[in-house]
Amino acid sequence: MSITTSAQRDALRKKLRMILLGPQMLAFLPAIMLGAFWFGGEGLALVIAVTLPGILVLTGHVPAPWRVPARRDMLTGLPGRQDLIATLSQGFSSGSNDAGDPPVCLVLEIDNASALESQFGEAGAGTVLRTCAERLKAVLRESDLVTALKPGCFGIAIARTPRTDLEVMIQLSGRLQDAVGQPISLDGTRVLLSSCLGFSMPSRVPDQVGESLLDAAESALEEAQKAGPGSIRAFSNGMRPRVSVPDNLTREVLRALEDGEIRPWFQPQVSTDTGQLTGFEALARWEHPEKGQIAPAAFLPAIAEAGLFERLGEVILYHALTALKAWDKAGLKVPNVAVNVSPEELRNPRMFEKIRWELDRFDLGPDRLVIEVLENVVAQSEDDTTTRNIAALSRLGCGIDLDDFGTGHASISNIRRFDVTRIKIDRSFISQVDTDRDQQNMVSAILTMAERLGLDTLGEGVETHGEHAMLAQLGCGHVQGYSIARPMPFEDTATWIETHQAKLSTMPTIDHAENPRGKKAS
């Protein structure tokens, strides 16, 4: 992203100068304190502060002793992930650090950290996290490094001595947890936190580079979190290190989102009764200008790593609603479009208002939008904000699809609590349902449950005409999959709709006489 004009970029090598748009020159000081820095090569710096009513920009050549890390966490002021990796890598490349041995990597994450903002507001959550950061640093030595990996998650490089063994690290881990667990006073409220912690010793990591050490510590943290709040785990060779997302891919994904390369492709959903189109699902696809189409499995981890799921959701929703308006204008009958909503979006207290605002902006009724929520989100969520968002969208009139049904452990009470209107039966149950009696019995049981709960049903991943016909016979209301059509760019949807409508008159009618359930109206 270009921040300055070419003339300003040329001026970066000159003495420090200030360009001020607006009268508030003193805004320069909080900008420095917040660490709002961008660094180019050779110590070239750009400091930006948004002020009211102006914007303050300082550029210049910063002497080496004055330079600060380019990727400071804006909430806590701590260095970020890359600074941690650099510190860990330096310990390996030099063979030792100032204390004597390569460092230990430790990752501490506050339990249920994602709920802090919804409970205490953005300012309150910031106060809590800054307090935690200060307490961690108070336990450690000046030679140790504390960084912010994401909100509520801290990465630490521990400068080792010959006495830093496994037992010492476990004791230190407990002291760090105790520090975070001390009550925090917030506007008269006592905030009590717990945390999980994972760490990795250099001798236990086969690939001895800084990034591998951090990956191993994060794997240990995941094992600790599985064990429950307050747990500690050390990385062992039996654990599988997390897969790192290359920095260049994360940067590419961010650029692709802003440049419009990531946008939805649309896969149709049809009624098993009539064959009529009942909606499209909007699926994120990346059309890279040089590499062609990049599979979601390749770029979604980078989306997660960069914390961009909310931005991705905004992009997909915008294009999905744009498509609905275009279909309406062309006289094409598309009842609705479904969009997948991530847990990160659901935990945002402003999510409902954002979606309602977009529907109003496009002058579309809420019944034209279906919100798809993964079953494991419904099964595992204890976040009140998630529940409120889904309930509010349901009351507004949006459809609520429970995606990948059968792969999680959603209870009937959770299905009712989240106001689900339709369940999407996972592909694992659909595969070979036309020839496998066990699959038929399983799908039949799911359909019976859905009928008794008053829920509509859709079979996803339907790849053959045999699977399609069997689902219709069993009483499944809708189908989606390659037997109907593969996901397609928006530009191809009009032709597909017209061709599909033309084919309907020649399609054989499916006999539902043996279906004991009857069919729901579509």
pLDDT in tens, 235-292: 875 565 555 555 577 778 888 888 889 999 999 999 999 999 999 999 999 998 888 8
Distance CA 122, CA 72 (A): 18
User: Tokens 């928006």 identify what position?
Assistant: 490
- What's residue 94's pLDDT? 46
- What's residue 509's pLDDT? 55
pLDDT tens per residue across span 425-440:
888 888 888 898 888 9
Q: 299 or 380, which is more confident?
A: 299
Q: Which domains does the chain have, with CATH numbers?
A: 6-66 (no CATH), 81-234 (3.30.70.270), 257-504 (3.20.20.450)
Q: Reduce the secondary structure of 383-431 to three states and give it as a string.
A: CHHHHHHHHHHHHHCCEEEEEEECCCCCCHHHHHHCCCCEEEECHHHHC
Mean pLDDT of the region 496-519:
68
CB neighbour burial string for 303-318, b if at least 16 within 10 angstroms, e if fewer: bebbebbbbbbbbbbe
Residue type, 313: G
Crossing angle between the packed helical segments 437-453 and 465-474, to the nearest 10 degrees: 40
- What's residue 166's pLDDT? 72
What's the start-to-end Cα distance of the chain, in Å?
47
Mean pLDDT of the region 148-165:
83
- What's residue 98's pLDDT? 44
Q: How confident is the model at residue 469 (pLDDT cuts 50, 70, 90)?
A: very high
Q: Is the bond into 53 cis (omega within 30 degrees of 0)?
A: yes
- Tell me, rounded to whole angstroms, the distance of Cα 519 from its chain centroid: 37
**Minimal CA–CA distance to 85: which of 254, 238, 235, 247?**
247
- What's residue 267's pLDDT? 96
User: Tokens 């037997």 identify what position?
Assistant: 483
pTM: 0.55
Distance CA 480, CA 327 (A): 20
pLDDT, mean over the chain: 78
- What's residue 68's pLDDT? 39
Name the percent of the chain in helix, strand, coil, to the closest 5. 45, 20, 35
Phi/psi at 45 (5° precision):
-130, 150
Rounded to 5°, angle at Cα 480 from 479 and 481 = 130
Q: 58 or 136, which is more confident?
A: 136
pLDDT above 80 (res 482): yes
- What's residue 195's pLDDT? 92
**Segment among 10-24, 141-155, 237-251 with least mean pLDDT:** 10-24
Residue type, 405: F
Percentage of the residues of the chain whose pLDDT score is greater than 70: 73
What tokens does 85 get? 């990796």
- What's residue 507's pLDDT? 63
Q: Could you please report the per-residue DSSP string of 341-367?
A: --HHHHT-TTHHHHHHHHHHHTT--GG
**Minimal CA–CA distance to 263: which of 302, 291, 299?**
299
- What's residue 121's pLDDT? 86
pLDDT above 90 (res 402): no
Contact present, 215 and 242 (Cβ < 8 Å): yes
pLDDT tens per residue across span 29-47:
333 333 333 333 333 444 4
**Minimal CA–CA distance to 341: which of 270, 295, 393?**
393
Distance CA 477, CA 3 (A): 52
pLDDT above 90 (res 70): no
Residue type, 94: S
Crossing angle between the packed helical segments 81-93 and 210-227, to the nearest 10 degrees: 120
- What's residue 19's pLDDT? 36
pLDDT above 90 (res 323): yes
Q: 90 or 84, which is more confident?
A: 84
Rg over CA atoms, the chain:
27
Mean pLDDT of the region 320-334:
96
**Segment among 57-66, 86-95, 160-169, 481-490 with least mean pLDDT:** 57-66
Q: How confident is the model at residue 413 (pLDDT cuts 50, 70, 90)?
A: low
pLDDT above 80 (res 153): yes
**Highest-confidence range of 80-94, 223-237, 358-372, by mean pLDDT?**
358-372
- What's residue 283's pLDDT? 95
Distance CA 72, CA 80 (A): 6
pLDDT above 80 (res 329): yes
Mean pLDDT of the region 68-90:
78
Q: How confident is the model at residue 310 (pLDDT cuts 50, 70, 90)?
A: confident
The conformation of residue 39, written as its DSSP 8-state character, comes to E
